[in-house]
Each structure stands twice: as C-alpha cells, then as structure tokens.
C-alpha cells in the first residue's frame, strides 16, 4: 500500500507502559497555563496514531505533555480503526433531512472541527443557533484517547441525494441473511459516527456535542453503547459469553493488515486511506448459553472458552489443526464450530464491543430460549412470557468489522455462519448497517469532502 499508510502507526512509544489503561489528565492540567495552550496548539498535526498516557501521579503534572491521553490522527486514515481499541464506545447513525446534499455537507462541516477539538481535549466549537458553548460534562477529564470516526451509508450515493459523484466502489446494501431478526429501528443510516474512548463520560460528552449540532439538518436514527474491558498485559479481552475474542485478529502494522482493512487503489480519491464498516447488533441468548454445559460451549466455538486454546490442542495462539480427530474418529474442531467456518473466510478486522442493555426488549420480542433443557442441578425455573411491564434481556455484541470489501470478506462468511454455525444457535442478529469510511480529511477539508463533492 502506498501513501502515509506506510507509517508504523501502531507502534507505541516504548516509554508508554500500557496503551489501554491510561491515567487521567484533566483539561485543567492540559490547558491550565498559557504555556500549556501554546504547547498543545503547536502539537497539532503530529503524525502516527500515538496514544499518550499520563504520569503515574494522581496530581496533575507540572508541565503536562500536550499529547497525553490523545490519539493523534496520521492525516491519511481516520482514527478509530487501527487505533488500539478503547474501552467504551457509542456508535450512532443519523439520517440527513432535505435538502439532502446541502445538509449532508453542512453536517460534516460542523462535525469535523468538533471531532478535531474533542480529540485534542479542547471544548468543541460554538454550537450553531445557541449561545451555549459546551455541556461541560467532561470538563474535568482528559481526551481519554477519544476517537470520532465517520462514514456514509449507501443511500447517500443514491439518486435521492443527487451528489453526482462516483460512489465508493464496494458500498452496497447487505443482503438478507438466513435467520435474521432485524428490528427496523436498528437498521441502516445515512451517516455513521463511531465514538470510542477510555472513559464513558468522555464518550457521552462527545455524542451529546455531536447531537447538539444536528437539529434542522439530520435526525438520530439509532445509537448503541458498548464496552470492552482490557485485561492488560496484551491479553485478549472477553466477550459476554466469557470467550477470549480477538485472538485471530490481524494486528496493525503486520504485513496483511493493510490488504485486509484499507480500501483498494481502484476506489475514488476520497476513499484513499478509507475502509468499510459492517455493523451487526447481535443479541446473545444468555439464559440458553448459561444453561449449556462447558462441553457444548467449547464445541460451538471450537476453542476452550476459558483458555482460548483450539480444541485441536495447544494454547491460545496455537494455529487451528482442522484435520486432527479424536478417538472416535471425529474432528476435534467440529465441522460446524464457529472458528472452523470463520477460519476459512477471507480475513477481516473485528473491532467489536460488548453491550448490555438489561431488561430492554419488550415482552413481545421473540425469545427462542424457551424449551431448552436444563442441565441436572439447575434450580427449577420457567421461561414463560415476561411479566407485564418487564422486558427480555438485551445484551450481546456490537459486531463491527472493518474490511476492504464487504462483499468478499463479510458477506460470504455471514451466509455460511447463518446456515451452519453452531454458535449461531445462541445468537439473534437484530441490527445491521454498512458504511463507507472515507480517508482522513486533508487540511482545511471536512471529513469525506473529496468523496462527497468530487465531480464524476
């Protein structure tokens, strides 16, 4: 791959002890002195995805580093893709109001400087139509490695918007998959904003500031909040089934990462350094999972749930041996195990988050967890209709994958998983969206400018 994408963006300063557990540095510490402000202003445009950390002291440092707790975009890729995954996220989609083209451009004009400011830990630019600068909810917090990543859904490049530009080559609506139980409230969207940070209040602040800039030009379509606790020491985090999730992910900086993630050279100029995001809201059927035996759980995945080791032997990072059979002559990694099916697919970058909304689904929502057998020793209980006013549990995974081409990387695998994956019997796909993620804005541009305005 050419361009600044060659930069060793994932490399971290060896002095930085742990990129996922930064200590807090407050805005006061960063901006409390004139010298601090000048230093911060001068630091704009530093290359690479450096993720800074605060000092070990709880008290604000006397001379804070201007890059503390910040993700510094490299000017070629948007941040929030190859950036070390932060622990909290809000993923939101907005629909643009008529006049579509003008409002879309206005939206990105407003959001681009907002994102730049918040990622630096500065207050956002003044809100339009209001005499209020900022909600202030994150005043005492640093940027906490905040990233704001933007994308555009297929409708944006359709006739309705009338942009008259070349659409991203590989942007297309996803097909329907077998067994999908999509809730129309959680499908599609014109403009995506993915907000990630190591502090939930910083995330809440950023989405609120983004929303404050849309009245009259766009409507929020859906929002999803997620979390992912980093166990530290480079270990793999767990999903809500308790599985180590992310073992086989490509690593930023590795030889295949660029090929897997970044848009091809045949894409329109605005997609250079860009990617595609597929998001699936996947409800995980916890009662069904929690009343399955360890053997059933491991077989559904093809790995040991606790250690992450393949059932063919070894430890977490041992390659899968799909040919190895047990004493009974059957493959140790079952033919319908999740990792067997997924391993044969074209690789993808997964950057998913757990979500847990508690009793959030209406009692009328279909819950196929009745009728399962309880293992011996389970206390007697029923799975009848939920009590009036109560809902069903809604927790699972905001499955997010960044790919060069959804149609060859995501779609064929999802077709196979929906048909044959044993893990899939514990899942319901309830939300779905796909977005083209443009490359980073050049100086003075808004994000997506070349993609949305270049003449064909």
Contacts to ligand HEM by CB under 6 A: 239, 241, 243-248, 280, 282, 284, 301, 303, 320, 338-339, 342-343, 345, 348, 396-397, 399, 410, 413-414, 417, 427
Kindly tell me which of 207 and 348 has the beta carbon lying closer to ligand HEM. 348
Look up tokens 């995954």; give the residue: 85
At closest approach, how far in Å is the CB of 443 from ligand HEM?
A: 37
Kindly tell me which of 154 and 310 has the beta carbon lying closer to ligand HEM. 310
At closest approach, how far in Å is the CB of 116 from ligand HEM?
A: 32
At closest approach, how far in Å is the CB of 288 from ligand HEM?
A: 13
At closest approach, how far in Å is the CB of 411 from ligand HEM?
A: 8
CB count in 10 Å sphere of residue 235 = 12
Kindly tell me which of 67 and 243 has the beta carbon lying closer to ligand HEM. 243
Q: Residue 381: beta bridge partners?
A: none
At closest approach, how far in Å is the CB of 268 from ligand HEM?
A: 26
**What sign has the CA pseudo-torsion 103, 105, 108, 110?**
negative
**In whole angstroms, what is the distance from residue 351 CA to residue 329 CA?**
36
Q: Is 215 helix (H, G, I), strand (E, B) or coil?
A: coil
Angle between helices 200-211 and 100-120 (to 10 degrees): 150
**In whole angstroms, what is the distance from residue 163 CA to residue 217 CA?**
16
68 near 54, Cβ under 8 Å? yes
At closest approach, how far in Å is the CB of 355 from ligand HEM?
A: 10
Indicate the pairing of strand 218-227 with strand 147-152. Answer: unpaired
Kindly tell me which of 48 and 347 has the beta carbon lying closer to ligand HEM. 347
Burial pattern 37-48, b for ≥16 Cβ within 10 A else e, equals: eebbeeeeeeeb
Kindly tell me which of 191 and 278 has the beta carbon lying closer to ligand HEM. 278
Kindly tell me which of 248 and 363 has the beta carbon lying closer to ligand HEM. 248
Question: Which stretches within 233-368 are classed as H helix?
Answer: 257-261, 286-290, 294-301, 338-343
Q: What are residue 71's phi and psi, to 5 degrees?
A: -95, 125
Kindly tell me which of 19 and 427 has the beta carbon lying closer to ligand HEM. 427
Kindly tell me which of 257 and 446 has the beta carbon lying closer to ligand HEM. 257
At closest approach, how far in Å is the CB of 15 from ligand HEM?
A: 30
At closest approach, how far in Å is the CB of 396 from ligand HEM?
A: 6
**In whole angstroms, what is the distance from residue 53 CA to residue 69 CA?**
5
**In whole angstroms, what is the distance from residue 238 CA to residue 232 CA?**
12
At closest approach, how far in Å is the CB of 106 from ligand HEM?
A: 35
At closest approach, how far in Å is the CB of 381 from ligand HEM?
A: 24
**In whole angstroms, what is the distance from residue 69 CA to residue 84 CA?**
12
Kindly tell me which of 411 and 452 has the beta carbon lying closer to ligand HEM. 411
Question: Residue 398 carries which DSSP code?
Answer: E
129 near 105, Cβ under 8 Å? no
Residue 33 C-alpha from the chain's centroid? 35
* 52 closest CA partner among 23, 91, 88, 9: 23
Kindly tell me which of 76 and 355 has the beta carbon lying closer to ligand HEM. 355
**In whole angstroms, what is the distance from residue 128 CA to residue 345 CA?**
47
Lookup: tokens for 125: 């630019």
Kindly tell me which of 30 and 337 has the beta carbon lying closer to ligand HEM. 337
Residue by residue, DSSP assigns 155-173 as GGGSTTTT--SPPPTT--P
At closest approach, how far in Å is the CB of 170 from ligand HEM?
A: 16
Q: What is the dihedral of CA 263, 268, 272, 277, to 10 degrees?
A: -40
Question: Residue 85 carries which DSSP code?
Answer: P
């Amino acid at each position: 791959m050419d361009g600044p994408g060659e930069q060793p963006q994932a490399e971290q300063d060896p002095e930085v002890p742990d990129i996922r557990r930064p200590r807090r540095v407050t805005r006061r510490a960063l901006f409390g002195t004139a010298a601090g402000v000048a230093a911060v202003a001068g630091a704009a445009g530093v290359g690479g995805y450096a993720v800074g950390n605060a000092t070990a002291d709880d008290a604000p440092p006397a001379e804070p580093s201007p890059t503390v707790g910040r993700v510094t975009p490299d000017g070629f890729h948007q941040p929030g893709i190859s950036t070390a995954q932060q622990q909290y996220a809000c993923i939101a989609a907005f629909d643009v109001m008529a006049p579509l083209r003008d409002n879309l451009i206005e939206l990105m004009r407003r959001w681009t400087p907002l994102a730049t400011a918040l990622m630096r830990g500065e207050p956002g630019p003044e809100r339009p139509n209001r005499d209020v600068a900022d909600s202030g909810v994150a005043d005492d917090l640093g940027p906490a490695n905040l990233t704001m990543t933007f994308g555009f859904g297929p409708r944006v490049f359709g006739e309705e918007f009338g942009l008259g530009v070349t659409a991203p080559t590989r942007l297309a609506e996803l097909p329907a998959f077998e067994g999908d139980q999509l809730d129309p409230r959680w499908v599609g969207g014109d403009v995506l904003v993915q907000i990630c940070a190591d502090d939930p209040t910083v995330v809440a602040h950023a989405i609120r500031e983004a929303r404050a800039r849309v009245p009259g030009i766009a409507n929020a379509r859906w929002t999803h909040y997620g979390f992912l606790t980093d166990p530290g020491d480079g270990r793999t985090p767990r999903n809500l089934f308790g599985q180590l999730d992310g073992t086989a992910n490509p690593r930023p900086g590795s030889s295949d990462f660029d090929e897997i993630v970044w848009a091809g050279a045949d894409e329109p100029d605005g997609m250079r350094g860009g990617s595609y995001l597929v998001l699936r809201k996947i409800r995980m059927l916890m009662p069904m999972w929690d009343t399955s035996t360890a053997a059933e759980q491991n077989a559904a995945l093809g790995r040991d749930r606790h250690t992450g080791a393949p059932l063919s032997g070894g430890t977490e990072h041992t390659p899968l041996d799909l040919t190895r059979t047990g004493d009974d002559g059957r493959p140790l990694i079952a033919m319908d195990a999740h990792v067997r099916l997924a391993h044969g697919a074209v690789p993808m970058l997964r950057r998913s988050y757990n979500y847990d909304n508690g009793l959030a689904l209406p009692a009328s929502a279909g819950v196929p967890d009745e009728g399962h057998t309880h293992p011996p020793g389970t206390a007697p209980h029923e799975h009848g209709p939920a009590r009036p006013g109560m809902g069903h549990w809604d927790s699972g995974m905001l499955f997010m994958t960044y790919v060069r081409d959804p149609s060859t990387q995501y779609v064929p695998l999802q077709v196979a998983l929906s048909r044959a994956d044993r893990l899939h019997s514990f899942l319901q796909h309830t939300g779905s969206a796909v977005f083209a993620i443009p490359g980073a804005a050049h100086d003075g541009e808004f994000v997506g400018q070349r993609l949305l305005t270049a003449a064909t």
